[in-house]
Structures are given as C-alpha cells and as structure tokens.
Structure 1
C-alpha cells in the first residue's frame, strides 16, 4: 500500500515486509521487531497508521510496530477503513471483525454472513459497505446485512476476491471466472469473449483517469470507460508490452500519491504511470497481400494480365472465367516492435457483409464465388490495437458464363417462343384432324342409329298394330259368343271382359299412333277409356268427366294396370251410380308427392253409391277383388273414401320399364 508520506509498503510470503521511499528499499522485518511474517495485506488509514495483516494476526504501525490482540482474529485477507473511521478486517475462516476505535465486533455466518471467508471491502456513495466473500457479495448498512448477491443475481462465480468502485459509483468485482460489473440491479459478466486475457482475476483497481485495471493469471488488462461509464475498449498488457510479471498476486495493488499504479506479481512489484505508455508507441504494421492461389495451386498470373505488381507479381484488373471461382489469399503484416503479435481481419466486398474477427491466420479461402466484381480487403493489428494505416486490397472480376448473357437469354426466349408456336400449331392441326375423324365417325354412327331407330319404330308400330288387331279379334269373338248367351249375368260378364280387353287395346292403339313409345299421355288415354265405356253401357244421360291430372305421362308397365283399375271403377259407376240421376259426374285426380316418388289418384262419381246387396253379389265381389289385385301390382293400396257418391283413393309407385 501507499502511506501518507508516499512510502510504498510491500508484503511478501517468505521475506517479511519491505518499504520503498522512492529511492531505497528497506526490509522492515530485519530492522524492527515485527519479524519475517507472511504478510497477506497492508493498509494505510486516514490517520497515517499502517495496518499489516498476516497469517498470525494484525500489526499496527504508528511510528513503531504494535501487535493487535484480537481473540480468534488470524489469517487476515483484507483491511479497510470506512467513512466513519471504523476498521474492517476480513479473515479466512473467521468472518469479519469491525473496530470502532474502542471495541471489536465480529460478523460471521452466525449473524448475517453465509460464508466466513472475507476477501475484500468497498463503500458506496450511500455509505453502504460491500463485503466480498467466498459465497458472494454482501451489503451491510444500518448495523446489519441487508442484501446478498450470488450467482443468481449475475455473479459468474461466488468467489468475490477483489472489489473496486469507479468514479461513476459502479462496483466492479473480480472472481475466478470473470469481472462482474454491477448495473444497479444485477451483475453483468466481462470475460475473455469481451477481451480479457483470462477469467481468473486476482486483483482489480482504478486509476485517476477512470480506467479499470484487472490483474489475472495471464497478464494485465485495462478497461477504458466512456464519459457515461460504459465500456469503451479493453487493452491487454503482457511481457511484450513491458508487464514482465505476467501472473498477478491476490489484491496486490495500490495507487500512490503521484497517481502511479503498483501491481504485485509472482516476479516482483511493478510500477506503472497511466500517463505514459509501458513501452514506446509501436509502429503501425506494414501489410501486403503476398500471393493468390487458384484451387490451392500456384498460378502464373502473367498469363492472365499484362500488368503485375512490383513485389509479389500479382495481376491487376484480373478477370477470371466463371469456373475459376476458388481463390486463396495470402497476406503478411510486419511490425518492427511486436512482430509476433500481428492479427488480421479481412473482408471480400461483393460477398461479405462485415469484416471477419481478428485472427492470427494469414490466409483465407473463398470457394464457389458467383460471377461479379470483387475487392478483397485485409487489415492488420497488434494486440495493443495498433492497426495498419490502410487495408491492403486486391480487385478482380469473375465473368459470367455465356448462357447468362442477355443475347443468349434473348435467343433462348426466341427459341422457346418458336418451339411453343410450332408445338401449338402441331397440336392444333392434330386436334383438327381428330375432330374431322370424330365428326366422320359421329355422322356414320348417327346414320346407323337413325336407320336402326327407324327400323325399330316400324317394327314396334307393327307389333303394337298386330297386338291391337289381335285384341280386337278376341273382342269380336267374345262379342259374337255373347250373342248366344241368354243368361243376363253371363252377358254382363262377357261385357266386362270386352271392356277390359278394350282397355288394353287402347294402350297399344295410342303407342301405335305415338312417336314416344316409352310413355302414354294419361289425359288422352283416360278420355278415350271413358268414351269407350259410355259407348259400351249406352247411357243416355249427360255424363261429365272432370280431370285434374298433374302427371302427363306413364310408361307401358304402369299405364296398363292403372287403365284396368280405372276401367273397373268407372264401369261400376256406369252400372250402378247414375240410375236415379240425369246428370252424372266422374272425377279423376292424379297428384305426385312432393317428398317421395309416390302418386295419389282419386276416382269416383256423384251417383247414389253402391247398394249393399250389389256389393255382396258375386259380380261385384269379383270386380272389387280385381281392383285390389291391380292396386297391389302397382305397389300401392286402395281404399274407399266416405263421401257422397262412390270414391276411391289409390296410392302407388310407378313400375319401372
């Protein structure tokens, strides 16, 4: 440490205490009664007293040496004075001892700390005392521990071996893994990734210019801060920069009355004046691109260019074919003062977005470069951050293949358009020929179908004509036979048979006269059927026919049983309904269901209705049974409606062809 008189006190582990007055170094252990103690820390208080902490206890120097007797206070690691003049002593294994000038007070794991190894102290602007221990950082205020910071609050390591407060009031902690910087809420880590020589920090201090100095096991680092207290840069000092001690000792640092920093290392004490450089200012590296290889092979570049560089015979305005796109650049930086510390950063304009990180490799390779214009840039820097004056550069061009040129693309477009045109014409002609053949086939097939249809029509008409004629012959034979029958019941039976045959014959007559052989016009058919029955029964009365037919047509399989059923019902009407009235009405309604394929037909007359005796007669029973059979054949049901006259309702489904 530095005392009030400007003396520098240096403690060692094997040779006791030394004092340096600026001219002479004196071994105090040999000139006083303190002996060759193993000193761990030395501190100068505000009154000019020097406190020496050793593995055995504490000695105070106020002109002479006085051992301080504190029960249990040994293995001293840190001594500190707060703003009130209290002396804080950190020990290894016994916690913290606090001296207010009269009494000693102990702070350990029994009353606030969770770790009894105390290594460092600092006091912030608010008067809070920060204690660095083996278990993190503790904050002491108002006579007690109020806060504890550990790994959970951002410390990269729980060992807080050294601490310092910068001019902005920020607390910096040296640990075994990093430097931790407190932002007001938590600690942020600074490691080798940010530029430290090592994460193993042995000491930390600040100079009069606000820089933070970090001593590690691999050298010394200076952290420069901006005007706002943020990290601006980190510079490393090692043997080449004059810091010959390399590995620092724990908490072995102080600043003297002249603002010079002192660092204790394993090879002695080093004094550094921040106002000056440790060594003379290094010269900027001299940088050149020394060679360029193509696919890792040396190239006679004079074959590629008429102009070559003076020293390394590299071509200017180099133009390469599209497949010569694998280049390796070699470069070299020369520093007269620090030749072994040169690092390089490079960038290929036209390919890279950013400069590469600094690295000691002196070559780089770019493969599969696309066609284009490029400029390779490389710059050199020493570890001290001294960069070459300007980047070395090399420009070249990789020509595009002919198939990417505008004229080739134009030819391809023209050729493609021509091919599309020819192909479309070919397809168009092929389609026309296909349509011609198809039209010819269609005409031929149509003629065949028309011919076949005409033949079928003639044949079908002939069939219907013959069926109708045969039915008429049968009807005539029955009519002749009925003339020889005297029994009224038998005559009536013959008449009913003739009506039924005539009903079927009417269907074939309609088909014979129709052009649509699949369907029969229902209204026309019913009219013909009723007219035939009027002629048959020779009723000399005004009989009206009321039709309400939603359905226009039925096929042959449906119309025949439906016609026979209508014949039976209407025949019954002519036989029984109009005996007592002059004006009769026969009603037929035909409707189709809106929700299914079922049809409903209502048939009836406004006559007197059936006589119960007639209903019970044999003839009547046969007719009614036939009606039921025909309804079943139509997949339907028929029942009588309770209404004036005689009415039936038939629900059925048309039969398929």
Structure 2
C-alpha cells in the first residue's frame, strides 16, 4: 500500500474518479516496487537532456504545456504565467502586466497564422479549464480574448474545454453543450468535424473539464475519450471509428504508428498490476499486437505504468514509473531516458504534455519543470572508457592500433588494453610507466613509454627492451624488416629489432626535434616527422633507405601529455647511425608554428594542426599558406590529430569536439558528446586509421571509433533560426532609452533620428543548447568591409553617419557551424532637418529671395544715392568749375609772370654777356680777356637754360636733349675759328629739373670750353663724345671724352678754376667726377635729380 499512498499524495489534484480507479488497483495487493522488467541498453543512442525550471527563468516549476511558434521560440504555460523561452532567457507574460485573463496557463496551441491560443485553468490544484481563452499575436504580443478575435465563431468561449495541436495545420477544439469536435485554420475558419453523441450525461460522472488529458491528438488524428466506460472516438482526416473498452481500469494511449494504428496499453480488473498492449487498426478494429518487438513494445507489456504522455506528432511517447525511470517510446526504439536517482523528487513527478520542436528535440512539461530531450542514433563506438573499464582510473587514451582481425590495442594512461570480439583484456606491465606510442613492427606489437616494450601475446605482458630507456617515446614507425624509428620528447632514435640495439639520429641543420608526434610517408617514399618545433625529413648519408612499401598499418596517430626528460642511449652500433639523419625543413611560413600533427595529401599539400592557431594549409612548392580558425567554423584553435577519409574529408580532433573538414570546400562539421563521443577533449598523438577505413580517436575518456561513410549525409549547414530578442533605442526627443522591440518586429527596419544617439540589439540563436561556444558576428553594409565578431548575444551601435545601410547578423553554434539564416535589417540614419533636401531647397529659395529683395532694395537705395550724388556732383561741379576757372586764370597769370621772369633773367644775362664782351675788347692783357670770355660763356649757358624755360609750357623742367644740343652749338660757335671739331651726342629724351640743369649746364660748359681751348692743338681734327645714360629712377651717368692728349701727369687740378668749378658743381647735383686718360681726356660724372637728392637727405 506504500506505493499507492505515495502516488495519491503526489497526484492529489486528480479527479475523484481517477482516485477511485487507483484504489481498485491497489486492492489487488501487488506492490508497485516489485516491477523490474528488462529494458534494452541505450548504447546505440545518445541521449542529451537538461531540466529547465525556476532557476532558468520559468515563472513556476510546474509547467503544464508548451508549443513552438513559427519563429522558433518556445512558449510554456505555467501556474504563474506564460513564458517565452529563447534558449537563454525567459520572457514572462502575466495578467497583471500584460492583461492576460489569468495566470494559470494549462494549455497552449498555435494556428497556421502564428497566433497563440492560451487556455486557462481554475485556481487550486485541480487541472480544470475555466472557459477563458486568449489569442496572442506572437510577433506583436497583442492579446485579445477568443470572443474578441472571433466574434462570429459557432460556439461560445466559455464552452471550450480543450484546444490542441495535432501536428497538422489545423487546431482542434473540444466544446461542451453539446460535446463537439471542431477543426480550425486561418484559411478555412471553424468547421465541425464530429459531434460525440454517445457522451450523454449518464456517461459523464465528473466535470468534463477535468478529463481533458484523456484525449490524445497527434499526426492529424485524435483519440477522443471522456472516461473508460464511455465510447471512444478515433478521428482521422476522413473517418471516425467508435470503440469501447470493457473491463478496463486504466487505458493509456502510447501513440500512432506510421501505418496509422493507435497503440494502447491498459490493465484490467483481472490483472491490475500488468498492462496489456493492443492497437486500434486504421479500419477501427481493436486488436492485440502479435509481434511486440516489431514496434519495440516488449518492455511496455507486463509492467504497471503511472503515466504516459504522447507527443503532438504522435510518433513518440514518454512513459513513467515513479519508482523506476522515465522511458521514451518510438516506433524504432524503447529507451530509458531518466532514472529515479537522476532527479530529486522523481517519485513525485507528474507529466503534463510532450511536444517536439523543429530541431529534433522533444520537450516534456512536468511538475518539476521542463525536461529537454534529444535522442540520436550513436555512430561512434567507444573503447576503454571509464564506464567500460575500472582498472585505470585515468582513462586518457594515448597510442592506438587496430588490425584486420578486429583487434584494437590502446594505451590508456599507464595501462595497455586489448579488445577483440567484444572481449576486453588489460595487458600487464611491472613498472606501470605512462604509455604513449604503440606500433606493429614485424608482426609484433611495440609500446613506447620512457622505455620501449614488446608485447608478449602468450603471456599477455609487456617486456621492456634492454637499452631503450630515455625520454618519452611519442611515436614509432617501422622503416623496414629490422629498423623501428622512434620519435621522442628530445630527438629521434632507431631500434634494430635484429641486433636489439639503439642509436640516435642527428639533426645536422638545426636544433634537435622536440616532442615528435608522428611519422608519415609520402607517395615518393620520403619519411617525414612531425615535431612540435617543425617538420623534419629522414635522409640517408650514403644510400637511400630501404622502405617497406607494403601498406603500412603502423602509420599510427597517438597523443598524450609531455615529460621533459633527457635521452640516454647505448651507442652500440655506429653503423646504424652513419646511414640516417634528420633534416629540418626551414620555411618562413611554418618556422614559428607549434605543430601537433600534419598530413600530406595526394597533391603534396601539407595540412598542419597547431597548438592554438588552428589548421594551416601549406603548399611547400609555392610556399603559399592559408589559415583556418574559429572564424572558419572550427570549435577551437587547439587541434591534436588529423586523419583522412576516402571522401576528401580530414577528421581533426581538438580540445572541444571532433571536426570533419572538407579539403576542397572547407566545410566544417563538429561532433561532441551530444553526438555520441565519450568526451569533448581529445589528446595528442591519439588517433589511428585502420586498413578498412575505420578511424579511431582517443581523448580524455577512452577511444571513439567510427566509419566515415556513416557521416556522408551530414551537412555543415546550420538551419537554426536567429531571432531578435530585444531592441532598445535612445530617443533624443524623449532623452531616454525606449523599448522598440515590437516596432522592429512589425516593420523589420531601424530608423534613427539625428538626435538618437545609439541603439542596443539583443538576438539569440534558437538551437536551445547550452550557451557554451555560441558566437555571433555582425556587419553594417555600407560601412564595414569585414565581419565583426562577438562573444555575447547583444551589440550596441552608435556614431553612425547619415545614410541608408543594412545590418547583417549571423550566429555560430558551439560546434563551429554558422547559421545559414542571417538577420538582415535595413538601417536608416536620418539627416537633421537642416540637411534634408526640402530644407536645403527651401533655404536656397529663401536665400535667393533674400538676395533678390536685397538687390532690389540696394538698387533702389543706390538709385536714390545716385540721384543725391548726382545732385551733389552737379553742385560740386559748378563750384569746381568756378574754382578751376579762377585757378586757371591765376595759373595763366603765374605762367606769364614766370615766363616774363625767365625772359628778363635771360635778357639780363645777355646784357651781362654783352658787357663782358665789350669789356674784353678794351683789355690788352690776354689773360684778363680770356677770363672775361670764360665768364661770358658761363653766363650764356645759364641764359640758355632760362631761354628753354620760358619758351616751353613746363616752367619747372627743361628738355635735357635739346638743352645739351643747343649748349654744344653755342660753345662751338664761340670757338669756330679754330680747328674743326666733331661733337657726338647721345642724350636720352628726358626732362631735368632746373636745380639740376643749371649745375649740369655749367659743368658741360667747362668741359667743352676746356676741350676747344687745349685738347686739339696737336690733332688735325677734334672729336668730342658726350653721352648721358639713365642708370636708375632719378640717377644718371655723364660720360665725356675727347681725342686730345689729356691732362699732364703733373697737373694740379686744385690750381685750375674750371676743374674746381666742375668738382663743386658735381657735388651740388649729388655726383662725383672720375677722370682718366684713354686716348684723350675722359670724365665720368654720376648725378641725380632733385627728387632723389631730397629722399637721400
């Protein structure tokens, strides 16, 4: 009776009729704890599960129902409200905040228009619907009652007692008064599918609203049931079958087969503790199931089941025994998914509903939360994991070897294990060294640790080879029938199995190798070694190596931790050492890499696995290199081992999963614990490719083996939706952050005003896995050239320029695959009003108008000013004319006066000249007469200047050229009785002020008079050259020469009045006399005009 008491206590909210039935079962006296029917092992399947509850954001641990909408979000109805789950966060809707009709949501369903139908339950623990139904638009979250949404529906909202999805595009409605079954879609509306006339009031002993869980919907079909005694209706698309189960206490539907057969399990009054399995055929016949194994029903029959819930696609069910476990039934398997010790409070668990999502998960809504389950067939076979052997607690795998007979040998930490035909065997070894490499050499197995061991199959033990102690042996390779190549922590060595001797192999062109992880042979027969510090090539000193060209099963792939001990070898055979050496490959492309493995493909291209830098493709011929990292879809950049398959894939182990990488398309798939491997982290040097193509990879929990052909249908495309979770925009006009999620979902675009400073966007990859490894990337088309990568599911954008852009978002799951469904959001940053075309156009028009008005105003103003100016000018003109008339008269008077003065001065000078001439005639002294004649010439030269002044209009300057010419003629006329003299003049056309002209005239008079008097006594004809040049503004040069003998060498110029006068006059006009004898006398005088002398003073 204990089991029954616990059951009643756990399910106290059940209706009374259920309790009475259970009482009947309990009276049979069989304890429920005594049932332990065998269940098939789950090793062929991987079961991933997690429980979501209050800790994950659900409003209550009691979750009644769930459904997935078109966008991929999950919705859960709880006792305390409605939750939307995106794989990371739960969004809560309640009556208080979102105007739901109630908080206790007992059923959810969605239609083909992405509307969510929300059905509420009454208060208390009974699961009775209360006749209240809401309809939510899941995009905008707008909520209306069922009556408001469908005012013309053919029944009343309060008569609806159940709504369900059946896996098709139509919703199922059950109503009372009378009992009817309706189908609904947005395209066809409501249609009456069937009326259950057999359910009359006499059949229904309790409130029908409690009995909703008795009906089952799935795969487009429905089993309508109100209790075990009333008729049951199996409704398909085109048929309705009615059947009644007699002598049945509890009848639980299991599900529909692919042949549309309904499978049921039930107990009877004759055998309350053991359930029988039967089926209702597609033609409505109630029959037993003759072959239970065909539908995997063996483990169901004969047991007592507390509860069974069927998924909406009706292809799977969850079965529950409170004292045992949860089981999953499908047509292909029956699996234990959760045992009682796995979940606290398991014995009090109650199952409410089960539904699948679009990604292959199934979700079980229970009284303790939501259990997420993912069931997949396991294509990996484990070896020597912690669950398969207990001898070695540390189950890290190292070296692996497998042969054609099916024998698998592996080093698991300090032990070596063998398995063949399902039989596992541990190999004994006295020292229990950590084991690394394992290889087949000459039909014998060798194992490498710090020592080299040979396996003795008859004794099942490892025997150490003498002389082989040194640093760890990570890898081995059989060179020929006698030589075994060893890769150690420090360098290389050779073991000769015939002589049982060891020797080291030198590396002449570089530092010694460290941690030699693999040996491989290319198609030319060259042996390569992969060490942590680079690639090495095996060469022979005097002859090529003898290579065993049989298919090598010793090309093994192992992995492990490192131990840096120095090597010690017994050098017993120098002949071996002389034949071989290792040459390090030097290339700038790979010199700095930390290698863990390498593979050379048929094209000669090396694929390099590195410790933290991903995968490199290196073409040694062209030295071209390309890197593949997390951004290319890898789950990690720490890569341990590479094994090829026959389908152009490279299988690469990492510290987070096993990677399948296509050599040509670069497509990536990652396999983790969820896919059946024993541990996500693998090991160095731990892999092997068998002769039949089977691959083995070792990790932290044993070995995983598989055939690559089983994965050919896998795709690297991640068809998981990426959805917007929240969008908040800082609105400058409100000066606050505003939630605009609904607006973005409705319009699918973002518009920023000029004063909107930034926005934040949250998004989520709806794969409903743990958040570990999720990455995101965004790119703003029109700004960014490359993707920007994020480790969080949110971004903040600010400082965008004005314009129209497109925001691209994509997500990457934990296995490294990028989503094929990108989010593409048009993004517009509006220009401020002063940069809008209409404002610029208006401003330009206003500016032009203002310019026009200003011009008009200025024209008018200028016209007025012009009129005033003209008036003033006219007035001033009259005044000026009058003034000019007066001044002209004055100037004329002045000119007349000046001319009169110059004329009178000239006349007076001529009178003086005449008087001097008369005086000279009365003198008998020749010297005195000569002095008077010179004086008269000087006076005449001055008179000549005044004559030029009054004869021309300009009274302040004289025409220098005319003046010089007149002066020369005048002086020549005085001395015309003497020898003929030719005077050559070169004087420019310029006017010289009177203050400069008078001294210059006197200077010329003295020079000419001197030449006529003294220069030509000894020559037949005289030559005088007089040249005046303008040197600069206001500066002139006088050059005077004659062809006379010049001045005597003992001539004293201070005693001659004429030359003294020349010097004094030259200084008066700012000049200086320079004298030289060059075929005659030569004078050079620099002089200036009056204006220049003023400026200099």
Into which bin does the TM-score normalised by the smaller protein fall? 0.7 to 0.9
Cα deviations across residues 525-552 of structure 1 (Å, max 9, x unaligned)?
A: 6557756885x79x8x799775432216
1:511 equivalent among 945, 949, 952 = 949
Matches within 5 A, 1:203-218: 203-218=641-656
1:148 equivalent among 584, 601, 606 = 584
What SS class does the counterpart of residue 365 from structure 1 fall into? strand
| Structure having the larger proportion of residues in strand | 2
Matches within 5 A, 1:595-634: 597-602=1036-1041, 625-632=1056-1063, 633-634=1065-1066
What SS class does the counterpart of residue 156 from structure 1 fall into? coil
CA contact (8 A) 1:167 1:210 kept: no
Residue 13 (str. 1) matches residue 413 (str. 2): yes
2:1009 equivalent among 564, 568, 572 = 568
For residue 557 of structure 1, report the CA deviation from its aligned partner. 3.4
Q: 2:1089 aligns to what?
A: 656
Matches within 5 A, 1:50-65: 50-61=445-456
CA contact (8 A) 2:404 2:692 kept: no
Q: Which sections of structure 1, spanning at least 5 residues, go unmatched?
A: 303-307, 579-583, 616-620
Q: 1:294 aligns to what?
A: 729
What SS class does the counterpart of residue 556 from structure 1 fall into? helix
CA contact (8 A) 2:719 2:821 kept: no
Mapped to 2, the partners of 1:79 and 1:594 lie a distance apart of: 108
Distance 1:525 1:35, change over 3 A: closer
Matches within 5 A, 1:94-105: 95-99=492-496, 101=498, 104=501
What SS class does the counterpart of residue 498 from structure 1 fall into? helix
Mapped to 2, the partners of 1:542 and 1:108 lie a distance apart of: 129
Mapped to 2, the partners of 1:514 and 1:481 lie a distance apart of: 33
Residue 87 (str. 1) matches residue 484 (str. 2): yes
What SS class does the counterpart of residue 402 from structure 2 fall into? coil
Residue 262 (str. 1) matches residue 688 (str. 2): no
Cα deviations across residues 584-630 of structure 1 (Å, max 9, x unaligned)?
A: 9876542346989533335689xxx99xxxx9xxxxx9999344334
Q: 2:427 aligns to what?
A: 28
Q: How many residues align?
A: 616
Higher RCO by CA contacts (8 Å cutoff, separation 6 or greater): 2
Matches within 5 A, 1:181-330: 181-184=617-620, 188=625, 196-226=634-664, 232-276=666-710, 284-295=719-730, 299=738, 314-315=746-747, 321-324=753-756, 326-330=758-762
Matches within 5 A, 1:311-350: 314-315=746-747, 321-324=753-756, 326-336=758-768, 342-348=774-780
CA contact (8 A) 1:586 1:604 kept: yes
Mapped to 2, the partners of 1:174 and 1:550 lie a distance apart of: 102
Cα deviations across residues 466-513 of structure 1 (Å, max 9, x unaligned)?
A: 433443454465567667756566455545443443333333233232
For residue 338 of structure 1, report the CA deviation from its aligned partner. 6.0
CA contact (8 A) 1:219 1:247 kept: yes
Q: 2:841 aligns to what?
A: 410
Cα deviations across residues 184-230 of structure 1 (Å, max 9, x unaligned)?
A: 2569565556555445444443334343333344443333211xxxx
Q: 1:365 aligns to what?
A: 796
| Structure having the larger proportion of residues in helix | 1
Q: 2:1026 aligns to what?
A: 590
Mapped to 2, the partners of 1:149 and 1:363 lie a distance apart of: 46
For residue 561 of structure 1, report the CA deviation from its aligned partner. 1.5
Q: 1:581 aligns to what?
A: none
Mapped to 1, the partners of 2:787 and 2:657 lie a distance apart of: 26
For residue 9 of structure 1, report the CA deviation from its aligned partner. 0.7
- What RMSD over aligned residues (CA atoms) do the two structures have, in Å? 5.2
CA contact (8 A) 1:506 1:529 kept: no
Distance 1:409 1:449, change over 3 A: farther
1:39 equivalent among 421, 426, 435 = 435
Q: 2:552 aligns to what?
A: none
What SS class does the counterpart of residue 549 from structure 1 fall into? strand
Mapped to 1, the partners of 2:603 and 2:678 lie a distance apart of: 31
For residue 286 of structure 1, report the CA deviation from its aligned partner. 3.5
Distance 1:491 1:390, change over 3 A: closer
Q: TM-score, normalised by structure 1?
A: 0.74
Q: TM-score, normalised by structure 2?
A: 0.47
Moved more, 247-256 or 2-11: 247-256
Residue 120 (str. 1) matches residue 489 (str. 2): no
Mapped to 1, the partners of 2:413 and 2:852 lie a distance apart of: 98
Mapped to 2, the partners of 1:255 and 1:72 lie a distance apart of: 27
1:383 equivalent among 791, 814, 822 = 814
For residue 361 of structure 1, report the CA deviation from its aligned partner. 2.6
For residue 263 of structure 1, report the CA deviation from its aligned partner. 2.2
Q: 1:556 aligns to what?
A: 997
Q: 2:535 aligns to what?
A: 137
